[in-house]
Structure 1
Amino acid sequence: MLPRAAAIAFSTDELHVRCLPMDFLPTWPFSVNTLFFFGFLLFSGALGGYFAHRWRWLPSITGFMVVGFVAGPNVLGVISEVGLAQSRIVVDVALALILYRLGLSIDTKRIKQDHQVVLVSLAESALTFAAVYFGLGLVGVSGLAAAVISTIAISSSPAVLIHVAHELDASGPVTERAMLLVALNNVIAFIAFAAVLPALYGEAQAPLAVMVGAPLYQVLGSGALGLAMGGLLHLAARKTKVAEQYRLALVIGAVMMTVGAALAFKLSALFAPLVLGMVVRSMERAKLVASINFGPAFELFFIVLFVYAGANLHVAEIVDYWPAVLVFLGARAAAKWLGVGGAALLLGASPRQAGSTGLLLLPMAGLAIGLVNTTLSLFPEKGAVIGSIVLAAVALLETVGPPIAVRALRWSGDKLNENGMERGNGAGAKSVPGKPASEAPAPLQPPAVPGA
């Protein structure tokens, strides 16, 4: 038997428990955790992609984004602002894997032999910066704010190009060259953004050590992290080359460790995975992981990324800053299309190839959003204007970009599988559409299928 004092205490506790409210029931509205959010993105996005395939001209990305927009804070509110913030890490991993895939398209050994593509990218990037900077000045956005926005404008969206190319099973010189140009655009945009940071720090009256050290730490630190993880992945792949079944796990694990380390060391979780892909592509000779087929499961990351993007569309910013947004879109589109298209014509490409290559660089998303978030965290006051204009432009470009990319690829003359849009996304992801990732981009040449 229990002692009398213990029995009294037990009876008191039991009475207290009986008097508690029914807190075993969930609260309403119930809090959405990351696991539910991830499942909801996949489930609803898959349905949106399926219905998008009812229209041959409409890519599944548009279906993903429409579902996200309707379910997001702008319409139904099923996906709240808090849920978006809590689940950001899921999107970071998805985008990192896509940037790693994009990095595989940059073969430094081949670039040393083909300087033309680097010159084209540099010329187009400079033209984009100048056009956006002077265009924004016409609507009252000038100085450092315009300079930061112009550096972000250089970037292009790899996710749209990669996904639409896989959906159409596109292969050819335009697709491959566009992949390389998008990758170079993102590298140049990140470095240009870092070059403008000292001026922002100076305006904020930061110490000289911070003005110089912070940008260098971002660029060199992120590059060093990508280099180290690329070397580690290459070494692990060589040591385990007889066990092919573990290669996909090695790649995804390396990318996730890169993202985690970048966040821990306050580096760029976008630039480091891009460098990781570049390092793996440049180091490998036996095509161990650079040409790995991710399989249909890779589609999960595209669904998550674009449903999230749809839920995160900034409609209010589009309304508030519409003159600057329209100038940004027009100047950037003209610079990229005319810059790449004109250079391609000078290098002997057909007008169809030249025009379609420029159009494939128009979508803008992942890196642009990452650079905006960096600006907001470091310089909230100036970042508010920068973020409003860039995020509004991203919302529009991610909406109209996929259909433009579909039309550009069909117009390019590259080989396409016209059943790709009808069968959906079951083909799975490849390292470069139609060819191994280790194969270098072919030089621009006349279209193989003139009537495509």
Structure 2
Amino acid sequence: MPDIQAILADLGWPLAIAVAWLTGEFVHRWTRLPRISVYGLIGFLLAQAFPEALSSGASSNVTILANLAFGLILFEFGYRINLHWLRINPWIAVSGLAESAATFGVVYLIAHLTGMPPLTSLLLASLAMSTSPAGVLRVINEEDSSGQVTERVLHLVAINSVIALFVFKVVVGFWVFQTSGSLTQAVSHSGIELLVSAAMGAVMGFIVPPVLRRLGALARDGTIAFALGVILLVAASRAFDVSPVLATLTFGLTARHKRVAFSRTERNFGGIGELLTVLLFVFAVSTLEWERVVDGAGLAAVLLLARFVVKAVSVGAFAHVSGITWRKGLLTGIALSPMSVFVTLLLEQTKYMGIVLVDELAALAAMTLLLEVVGPVITQRALHWADETPKEAK
């Protein structure tokens, strides 16, 4: 007689992905809610019902696949970023820096006033700065959104994610080096790590396009080559213990500015990319525990409200000087709501150093779940209100 527990362990993730995908398709067709919100909700419920079947360690195959899925999305995200646009209109970059700094300051202040230790407050504030590139890009692709708000959201997400990544690495580095109490050592270690990550991505971005041109296979094999590049970068990042986030983002950014056409017919890297995306959004909440979510719900609600208001007001304040209306500026800030996937994978990477930060941040668990489900919906509505989706265009 086969062991039921062993069968569930083998079939847990495939079944969870299948259930999440089917539910996402049906709910999206009935309600037009973003599919990724449904993936997250189903993933969380299944993880609470069958925790053993959906377990995943820092070195498990599921974690590796989730990092690969995030890498593919980050490549495509980086490909959408136009640095020339930021040079022409520097106020967009200024607004990104302002909203990141304001979010960090407000979240740190609230966390500190509630009695959190300084390092824990700094970690929470650094993560709260970020907006998930995966959540935003998936909603934009699903809604086929385009326009001023859409493009500004993409660029602001890139800015606050890179800043959040750097500050998070510095704080974690200081946590590791706190026996010596050397902030300089933490900053230099984190800076070197991020520079190495960016250099790896840039090198890949310079190598792949000429190879494709040489082969004369840009249109036919471009998607495969870029996917292989992402796989190599994620593997190399794990091997050298650097950030795959910045490496894959820089890869996409470099490929764009090498004037390589990325076929829209293979958006999201085709069917395999879609499948990995389902896994990614289920994985993002599978590590959360219901008790921890409940414990942190009160503080999470306050922090999320503060984060939402600060991002909307900060971006809206620079609306006129950057060339758009106050309304579109506020909608741009509102669209920066998703956060969960970026946070989950950053926390998973810290486990390699023996640091389990989720246990320190009950509020972060509640924030992750709420923004996994609600964040994409807010982004979707903001894009609709901005009249940048075909369904709502006038």
What TM-score do you get using the length of structure 1 for normalisation?
0.78
C-alpha distance in 1 between matches for 2:97 and 2:217: 41
C-alpha distance in 1 between matches for 2:144 and 2:19: 24
Look up the match of 1:64: 39
Whichever residue aligns with residue 233 of structure 1, its letter is: V
Identify unmatched segments of 5+ residues in structure 1. Answer: 1-24, 419-448
Look up the match of 2:322: 347
What TM-score do you get using the length of structure 2 for normalisation?
0.89
Matches of residues 136-285 of structure 1 in structure 2 within 5 Å? 136-205=111-180, 211=186, 213-242=188-217, 244-282=219-257, 284-285=258-259
Look up the match of 1:51: 26
Contact residue 40 and residue 284 of structure 2 kept, 8 A: yes
| Most deviating of 146-155 and 125-134 | 146-155
State the Cα distance separating 1:257 from its structure 2 match: 0.4
SS at match of 2:238: helix
Contact residue 134 and residue 342 of structure 2 kept, 8 A: no
What is the aligned-residue identity percentage? 29
Q: Does 1:293 align with 2:269?
A: no
State the Cα distance separating 1:101 from its structure 2 match: 1.1
Contact residue 369 and residue 391 of structure 1 kept, 8 A: no
Label 1:204 to 1:331 Cα distance change in 2 as closer, same or farther (>3 A). Answer: farther
Contact residue 314 and residue 392 of structure 1 kept, 8 A: no
Label 1:236 to 1:350 Cα distance change in 2 as closer, same or farther (>3 A). Answer: same
C-alpha distance in 1 between matches for 2:289 and 2:208: 38
State the Cα distance separating 1:156 from its structure 2 match: 0.5
Structure having the higher Rg: 1
- 398, 401, 413: which one aligns with 2:387: 413
Look up the match of 1:309: 284
Look up the match of 1:393: 367
- 304, 308, 311: which one aligns with 1:329: 304
State the Cα distance separating 1:212 from its structure 2 match: 5.3
The CA RMSD measured in Å over matched residues stands at 2.8
Residue deviations 1:276-314, cap 9 Å, x none? 1111122x23x3348673364132232221222343343
- 281, 294, 297: which one aligns with 1:319: 294
Look up the match of 1:114: 89
Contact residue 230 and residue 248 of structure 2 kept, 8 A: yes
C-alpha distance in 1 between matches for 2:90 and 2:263: 23
State the Cα distance separating 1:376 from its structure 2 match: 4.9
SS at match of 1:380: coil
Q: Which has the larger share of helix?
A: 2
State the Cα distance separating 1:339 from its structure 2 match: 0.9
Label 1:400 to 1:220 Cα distance change in 2 as closer, same or farther (>3 A). Answer: same
Q: Does 1:28 align with 2:28?
A: no
Whichever residue aligns with residue 274 of structure 1, its letter is: L
Q: Does 1:75 align with 2:75?
A: no
State the Cα distance separating 1:321 from its structure 2 match: 2.6
Label 1:278 to 1:412 Cα distance change in 2 as closer, same or farther (>3 A). Answer: same
State the Cα distance separating 1:386 from its structure 2 match: 4.5
Look up the match of 1:380: 355
C-alpha distance in 2 between matches for 1:197 and 1:29: 37
SS at match of 1:293: helix
Label 1:39 to 1:377 Cα distance change in 2 as closer, same or farther (>3 A). Answer: closer
State the Cα distance separating 1:235 from its structure 2 match: 2.4
